[in-house]
Chain A
Amino acid sequence: MAAGGFAEAGADLELVGLQKRFPGFTAIEELNLTIPAGSFFALLGPSGCGKTTTLRLVAGLEEVTAGRILIGGKDVTSTKAYQRPVNTVFQSYALFPHMSIIDNVAFGLRRRKIDDAMGKAHEALRLVELDHLAARKPSQLSGGQQQRVALARAIVNRPALLLLDEPLGALDLKLRRQMQLELKSVQEEVGLTFLHVTHDQEEAMTMADTVAVMNKGRIEQLGAPAVLYELPRTVFVANFLGQSNLFSGQVVAENPDSISVDIDGTRIVVPKARAHRTSGHITVGVRPEKLILAREAPVESADNNILGPGRVIDVSFSGVSTQYLIQIPLVGTIVLFAQNMGTGPIVGEGAEVWVSWHVEHGFGLDDEVETGSRFPADTDTATLALQKRHALMSELGED
């Protein structure tokens, strides 16, 4: 603990072979992660993938099953929670119900005997625009206000490492944007290290220096937001960060700087530099906003991938853009976003269209598309009984 003072700067966090098993359930398979000091690191992933568990391990509220945690180069794996230079904004807020808002915020400062705890607590409350409610009890605040108090209570301590577990989840869009900016400026001002957990991919991408996408207790991919978006490595990342059109097929030709993939007779070219694998059966993809819609077959060229003709099966207008769902025989359903600039064609449902994109916009993934389990892994009694009956009936029919 940085006794009696604020952290001068952020500390780096290193997780080495971290694993967490609950009785009968492995929440974290194996986590290796280095977060440089002073950076804003976002952990993104679906519900139940182990984000909160990771933060609890770092905060010292949960014991690790295996692996080590280093903060600022110091091994804190066996250090008690109150001795770690870490503060948490809890997903459930956990504001002390018997204390006023101001006492809640000053709690950590008082424990460390920092001068003028009250003044600093008021300042933190002003930051989240709640100073006028300082005398109230947490139960007298709305959910979003409680969340902001939780934020103030953690930030006021200026910890070397701040853990944020969906700290803005209960706020409306405008307030959320505003708090994002405040958070970012506090982080940059003092150079603290933020580990930010969120469901909101937009939030992760706009705020973080580095984003890690987590799935089923593992980190699938980690990198700068733009890199992650442009070059996803796995199907999960391609679909979790934004939307993707994915096609899988055999690599049929390898050129000096590109590969051609055969998708049931259609060729798709992907630059080698943008493909994680360049041979065998691979999955390639393209983002919906990179696609160009055409009512007539586009001119074939080496720079373009063309799919079509297909049929528009759904059109949905969302203000800035329009989303088209296009059914293309042998290829599948494709999602396309068209900016509503008044330039492109306007088509309705049932229209015959072609879809094309610049070769440079495609990407190749490292893993294979899970072709959807052909044999559903349903193991409940009803399904098993049904399968048994079908098998029996076909057997009898053959006889």
Chain B
Amino acid sequence: MAFSAFATATATEQAPRRASKVALLLLLPGIAYLMLFFLVPLFSLVITSLQAPAEFGDIGEFDNAFRWENYTTVIGQYSAQILRSFLYAVLATIFALLFSYPLAYFIGVRARPYPLLQKLILVMVIAPFFISFLLRTLAWKQILSDESPVVAGLKALSLLAPDAFLTGTPFAVVFGLTYNFIPFMTLPLYASLERLDTRYLEAGSDLYSTPFTTFRTVTIPLSMPGIVSGVLLTFIPAAGDYVNASREFLGGTGTTMIGNVIESNFLISLNYPAAASLSIILMAVILVLVTAYVKRSGTEDLL
């Protein structure tokens, strides 16, 4: 009796230890990957951001240093672009949410009795991914260009002044950002609305709440996980995006975002420390904003 109890005790003691070894083994590739491709570059980025120009060097040659002024310099120099980036990203996120929520609600709740229709609309949401987003953005540039029928039509309807244009304006950039990130907003929203139990909506209407109040007090809170992940998936890449705002695509001289500044510092002016410190500022601000947002929306479990 005592012997068998002892045997089982050792067995149960050993089991978790063995399991944790296996878990460690399985985690190893992931950890190695993170070390190699995230921590090392991040570390090197931090080092670069503190470098000083080489004393007798050429343009683009730098020495390791602790030049903290790099940060204050770029903030002073590019504060307009930094603010603009976050403004555009916030606007694009809001527009994408306003566009995607009704769409996701329709697919996930209203179209439930018609699974075929559900799948069809989902395919329509995802299908644009099959074409490179550079091509799609270029296509929008064509559509919004001065000679396009769209602009001509808007002018004919007097919705646009005769000398006005769309490409290169903040409108075009925010439009492009919104368009490009709509699937990232729609899919998580759909995933959470698809699981929405309509019996809660019935209970709401049974308890005297109008469809609008039910939406505000029941539907939105229950789909909050989808809203939060959609917002994160849209806002984070939109804030750092440099395609839509670049002059080759939908942007102009007055729409430069932080991504474009980093790109030109890295590739054109070869000012690596400035580019690196801007990247770190972008990361830090996103991290702070996202943490505050997630805390406020009460979905910490997501992180």
Given contacts A96-B218, A98-B221, A98-B222, contact A82 B205 (CB under 8 A): yes
Beta-carbon contact of A97 and B207 below 8 Å = no
For A107, give its contact among B207, B211, B221, B224 (CB under 8 Å): B207
Contact with A along B216-235 (1 / 0, CB 8 A): 01100110100000000000
Smallest CB-CB separation from A112: which chain B residue?
Answer: B208
Beta-carbon contact of A111 and B205 below 8 Å = no
B203 partner residues in chain A, CB cutoff 8 A? 88, 90, 94-96
Assembly CA distance A92 to B205 (angstroms): 16
Beta-carbon contact of A82 and B222 below 8 Å = no
Given contacts A82-B210, A111-B213, contact A94 B205 (CB under 8 A): no
Assembly CA distance A112 to B208 (angstroms): 7
A115 to chain B, nearest CB (A): 16
Answer yes or no: A244 CB below 8 A from chain B CBs. no
B221 partner residues in chain A, CB cutoff 8 A? 98
For A87, give its contact among B206, B209, B210 (CB under 8 Å): B206
Q: Is the interface of B mostly helix, strand, loop or mixed?
A: helix
Beta-carbon contact of A61 and B205 below 8 Å = yes
Beta-carbon contact of B205 and A81 below 8 Å = yes
B202 partner residues in chain A, CB cutoff 8 A? 61, 81, 90, 94
Answer yes or no: A1 CB below 8 A from chain B CBs. yes
Beta-carbon contact of B207 and A157 below 8 Å = yes
Beta-carbon contact of A61 and B206 below 8 Å = yes
Given contacts A94-B200, A96-B203, contact A111 B208 (CB under 8 A): yes
Beta-carbon contact of A94 and B208 below 8 Å = no
A86 partner residues in chain B, CB cutoff 8 A? 206
**Range for the number of chain A residues in contact with chain B:** 20 to 34
B200 partner residues in chain A, CB cutoff 8 A? 94, 96-97
Assembly CA distance A108 to B210 (angstroms): 11
B231 to chain A, nearest CB (A): 18
Smallest CB-CB separation from B206: which chain A residue?
Answer: A88
A222 to chain B, nearest CB (A): 26
Answer yes or no: A153 CB below 8 A from chain B CBs. yes
Given contacts A96-B218, A97-B222, A98-B222, contact A82 B199 (CB under 8 A): no
A81 partner residues in chain B, CB cutoff 8 A? 202, 205-206
Smallest CB-CB separation from B209: which chain A residue?
Answer: A111
B204 partner residues in chain A, CB cutoff 8 A? 82, 96, 107
A95 partner residues in chain B, CB cutoff 8 A? 203
B218 partner residues in chain A, CB cutoff 8 A? 96, 98
Answer yes or no: A152 CB below 8 A from chain B CBs. no
Answer yes or no: A80 CB below 8 A from chain B CBs. yes
For B199, give its contact among A92, A107, A112 (CB under 8 Å): A92
Given contacts A97-B222, A98-B221, contact A153 B199 (CB under 8 A): no
B213 partner residues in chain A, CB cutoff 8 A? 111
Beta-carbon contact of A1 and B199 below 8 Å = no
B197 partner residues in chain A, CB cutoff 8 A? 94
Assembly CA distance A87 to B206 (angstroms): 6
Report B157-210 residues with CB < 8 Å from chain A CB. Answer: 197, 199-200, 202-210
B199 partner residues in chain A, CB cutoff 8 A? 90, 92, 94
Answer yes or no: A269 CB below 8 A from chain B CBs. no
A62 to chain B, nearest CB (A): 9
Assembly CA distance A200 to B222 (angstroms): 35
Smallest CB-CB separation from B203: which chain A residue?
Answer: A94
Contact with B along A148-187 (1 / 0, CB 8 A): 0000010001000000000000000000000000000000
Report A59-115 residues with CB < 8 Å from chain B CB. Answer: 59-61, 80-82, 86-88, 90, 92, 94-98, 107-108, 111-112
Contact with A along B61-96 (1 / 0, CB 8 A): 000000000000000000000000000000000000
Assembly CA distance A320 to B209 (angstroms): 50
Interface centre among B207, B211, B217 (most CB of A within 10 A): B207
A22 to chain B, nearest CB (A): 12
Assembly CA distance A356 to B218 (angstroms): 63
Smallest CB-CB separation from B224: which chain A residue?
Answer: A98
A278 to chain B, nearest CB (A): 48
Interface centre among B197, B209, B211, B213 (most CB of A within 10 A): B209
Assembly CA distance A95 to B202 (angstroms): 11
B36 to chain A, nearest CB (A): 41
A329 to chain B, nearest CB (A): 55
Smallest CB-CB separation from B220: which chain A residue?
Answer: A98
For A108, give its contact among B207, B211, B222, B224 (CB under 8 Å): B207
Assembly CA distance A80 to B202 (angstroms): 11
A60 partner residues in chain B, CB cutoff 8 A? 205
Assembly CA distance A349 to B280 (angstroms): 91
Beta-carbon contact of A1 and B208 below 8 Å = yes
B265 to chain A, nearest CB (A): 46
Smallest CB-CB separation from B218: which chain A residue?
Answer: A96
Beta-carbon contact of A80 and B207 below 8 Å = no
B208 partner residues in chain A, CB cutoff 8 A? 1, 82, 108, 111-112, 157
Smallest CB-CB separation from B113: which chain A residue?
Answer: A23
B219 to chain A, nearest CB (A): 11
B210 partner residues in chain A, CB cutoff 8 A? 82
Assembly CA distance A82 to B213 (angstroms): 11
Assembly CA distance A61 to B203 (angstroms): 9
Smallest CB-CB separation from B298: which chain A residue?
Answer: A98
Assembly CA distance A210 to B205 (angstroms): 29
A395 to chain B, nearest CB (A): 49
A152 to chain B, nearest CB (A): 12
Interface centre among B204, B205, B208 (most CB of A within 10 A): B208
Smallest CB-CB separation from A56: which chain B residue?
Answer: B202
B7 to chain A, nearest CB (A): 38
A98 partner residues in chain B, CB cutoff 8 A? 218, 221-222, 224
Assembly CA distance A98 to B204 (angstroms): 13
Smallest CB-CB separation from B221: which chain A residue?
Answer: A98
A33 to chain B, nearest CB (A): 20
A118 to chain B, nearest CB (A): 16
Assembly CA distance A88 to B211 (angstroms): 17
Assembly CA distance A112 to B207 (angstroms): 9
A157 partner residues in chain B, CB cutoff 8 A? 207-208
Query: 6 A-B residue contacts at CB 8 Å?
Result: A61-B206, A82-B211, A88-B203, A90-B203, A95-B203, A96-B203
Q: Other CB < 8 Å A-B pairs besides A90-B203, A94-B199, 12 of them?
A: A59-B206, A81-B202, A81-B205, A82-B206, A82-B207, A87-B206, A88-B203, A96-B200, A96-B218, A97-B200, A107-B207, A157-B208
Sort A-B residue pairs by CB-CB distance and give the 3 closest, nearest first: A108-B207, A94-B203, A81-B205
